[in-house]
Structure 1
Amino acid sequence: MKLFTNILILAVGFVFTNGLKAVEAQNVRGDLSKVGNIEVIEIAPNRVYCDGIQKKPCLFVKREDADDFTVLFDEIENFSFIPGFKYTLKIEVEKD
């Protein structure tokens, strides 16, 4: 039983230390007029505070073709950020 517990702990630790590499946040809607580009973004393991109308914690993201991280003021639909993990997401960017 102890061996099973140790293996389970190692497996869970492996998953969390490698992050969630292939999370897809999808927006499933019937409105095709708002379908946008598919992008791959990297999300830093911690939020940063951004100034807008009010100071709030924002995601720190890097687009696939960019060299630097930038602040993302909006939340990503169907994505739950957990601090301490680096994410790579494939997202659909809706047109306004």
Structure 2
Amino acid sequence: GVCAEEEALNLPRSEKLWGLLMDWEGQYSSICMSSEVLALRENLQRIRVCLDYEMGRVTFYNVKDLTQILQLEATFTEKVFPYFWICSEDIFIQVCD
């Protein structure tokens, strides 16, 4: 996801953090002030994160078929940065362009 610079330490819920979470049971939910559990039928392998700063949107897509997973809306008033949080040694990410 994305977050405002000073919010990176104030997790997991913040008004300046917009993201997608997979919990220990494999359930996906949004990370923002109002979290929402998502009804996804598959374990996502590749996720695309798109930020439209001017329109105030962070959108997540399943790269496999380009279906939209989640769209979060906000009013961005400061710089935002990519945000990744891995809480297991058995999981890794690869950032692609």
Which TM-score tier does this pair reach, normalised by the shorter chain?
under 0.3
Whichever of the two has the greater Rg, that structure is 1
Larger helix proportion, structure 1 or 2?
1
Higher relative contact order (CA 8 A, sep 6+): 1
